[in-house]
Structure 1
Amino acid sequence: MVFHLLVDFFSRTLELLGWAFQPTLAALRKDPTLLIQPLALRRVVFTAIWTRLSDDVDEGARPTKKKLITPNAYGTVLELGAGLGVTMRYLDRTKVTKYIAIEPNPSMHIHIRRVAAEVGFSEYDGTLVIMTVFADQIGTVIERHSVDTLISVLTLCSIPRAESMLPGLVQYAVKPGGQFLCYEHVNNPIPTMYFLQRLLSPLWSTFMDGCAIGLPCHVWADRADDWETRDVFDMEGQTLDGLFIHKAGRFVRKSSERLY
């Protein structure tokens, strides 16, 4: 099983890099200084991959995201690492008044605006806000306790020091009684699979914009606050014989009278 898993991983890796080759070459021709800007170059590669891969990833996760996001998200929604903005398609517009997309990769913003136009969010009426900041900078651009629903979809894996950053973000941004919804790939509980996750993670992260495999993101979410309620569940239909194991969770903050 391990041999076949490794073959599949490296075959997939070559396929993804093949997708990125021509767009990256075109970007380098336009701006050769990307060769001395590793972060910017990494984003070019990832954008080329993710714009093709995202639909397949979203399709596989659709039942889980419909269960997690659609009935629960409300009010002002802030999404970490909004990517192409596909989470907006899961939001109930009768309950969500504003969508704030935190996306430090400017190449993604055109896609966020495109999806927003499809589902009825707009920068012109203030229902869409796009911020080019990192997660640890959110406290400088939004007011304290201004978010009803914080969302992270396949994002904690790529945030540096996410474990230590998340509690401060939740407790600053999310209103008392508000919630954190997350859907992440996590560590495989099978020791051999976990070893492979950590072994292959450095290679994967180089072209997937820092995405690390095998992190206990669900545990970080659980420890981010003294939650009123928590509900963590597995991605529907998944098995434990792969590198990407997913969990989803809804975590609700205590109300103000019990917070203070």
Structure 2
Amino acid sequence: MLGPFDLLIPPALLLGSLLTLPFTLASLALKGEISRLSSWPQLRHLWFQHLWFWFGPNTKILFAPRVRPLLAQAKGVVLDIGPASGIWMSELSEAVKQGKVSKIYGVEPNRLFHPQLLASAKRYGMADVYEPLDVYAQDLERCGVQKGSIDTIITVHVLCSVGAETTELVKQLHEYLKPGGQWLVYEHVASEHLPVRMWQYLLNLIWPTLLDGCHICRDTMQTLRQAVEWEKIELVRDIKEGYFESLPHVYGRLVKAA
């Protein structure tokens, strides 16, 4: 906790994103792919891929104390929603090695990450287990994933970025869980403190544009609790984060009724 200086962390990330944009544009020029500038989704995905190259792995150490114990609970057939480059692949591989996980679908609509996902899966001995899916979470049936067939859903820093209406997406993903299936969650959410939440809303005027559709002020905890009926809700705020934390987290597990 940095006290009031925590308020400066999101602007620093926005600055990092802006500084990454010239590199993205230069890479397009060097590859002779300037035509991709005409497609905002393509440019946004490539821009975020370059940002994540340095940001994702370098921040893993900050979140690992909460995320690692969470992923250790994964079992059966897993939907890994929005894995990006797969920075948590090593943790998932432990569950595979222990025989707890039999299949992992990496639902990553930014296909630029797929080569990294496949390479990481091979590196950690999961080439036959991990399958990237080039779809958004709401389009899973197009890839043959059947409703009621999933034992574990994982969302780590994902629900802030879904383009669909979050409540509706939670309802849709809930249908893919088997009875008794679990949803493992680690998400940044809206602050419970009004002054900090107002700061989040101000930042959110440009946050989604610079960070591939991410929203800094979604009340994901309430959405997950209220969108559907759960048999068990073990979802809490991270009490180690202070009053001024501008990217506060909730984490835990939700279990579908058997």
Q: Same fold (TM over 0.5)?
A: yes
2:74 paired with 1:73 = yes
Aligned to 2:160, the other structure's residue is in SS state helix
In 2, are the aligned partners of 1:27 and 1:44 still within 8 Å (CA)? no
Which residue of 1 is the match for residue 64 of structure 2? 62
Structure of higher RCO (CA pairs closer than 8 Å, 6+ residues apart): 2
Q: Residue by residue, what CA displacement relative to the aligned partner does 1:139-165 show, whole Å, maximum 9, x if unpaired?
A: 332112111101111011110212222
Q: For this pair of structures, how many residues does the alignment match?
A: 250
| Whole-Å separation in 1 of the counterparts to 2:249 and 2:4 | 22
Q: Residue by residue, what CA displacement relative to the aligned partner does 1:59-118 show, whole Å, maximum 9, x if unpaired?
A: 111010122121x10011111111111232222112111110000111111221122123
Which residue of 2 is the match for residue 258 of structure 1? none
Which residue of 1 is the match for residue 220 of structure 2? 217
From 125, 133, 142, the equivalent of 1:131 is 133
Quick one: percent identity of the two aligned structures? 26
Structure 1 pair 3–146 and aligned structure 2 pair: CA distance change class (3 A) = closer
Amino acid at match of 2:116: H
2:143 paired with 1:146 = no
Q: Which runs of 5+ in 2 are unaligned?
A: none
Amino acid at match of 1:169: L
- Answer with 236-245 or 141-150: which moved more: 236-245
- Alignment TM-score, normalising by the size of structure 1: 0.89
Which residue of 2 is the match for residue 105 of structure 1? 110
Instruction: Tell me how far 1:176 sits from its aligned partner.
Output: 0.7
2:171 paired with 1:167 = yes
Structure 1 pair 35–128 and aligned structure 2 pair: CA distance change class (3 A) = same
Structure 1 pair 209–253 and aligned structure 2 pair: CA distance change class (3 A) = same
From 158, 161, 171, the equivalent of 1:158 is 161
In 2, are the aligned partners of 1:99 and 1:121 still within 8 Å (CA)? no
In 1, are the aligned partners of 2:10 and 2:247 still within 8 Å (CA)? no
Instruction: After TM superposition, list the pairs within 5 Å mapping 1:108-119 onto structure 2.
Output: 108-119=113-124
Which residue of 1 is the match for residue 33 of structure 2? 31
Which residue of 2 is the match for residue 203 of structure 1? 206
Structural RMSD (CA): 2.0
Amino acid at match of 2:111: P
| Whole-Å separation in 2 of the counterparts to 1:244 and 1:210 | 16
Q: Residue by residue, what CA displacement relative to the aligned partner does 1:169-221 show, whole Å, maximum 9, x if unpaired?
A: 212x1111111111100010110100111111131211211000011112222
Amino acid at match of 1:131: L
Structure 1 pair 224–69 and aligned structure 2 pair: CA distance change class (3 A) = farther
- Alignment TM-score, normalising by the size of structure 2: 0.90
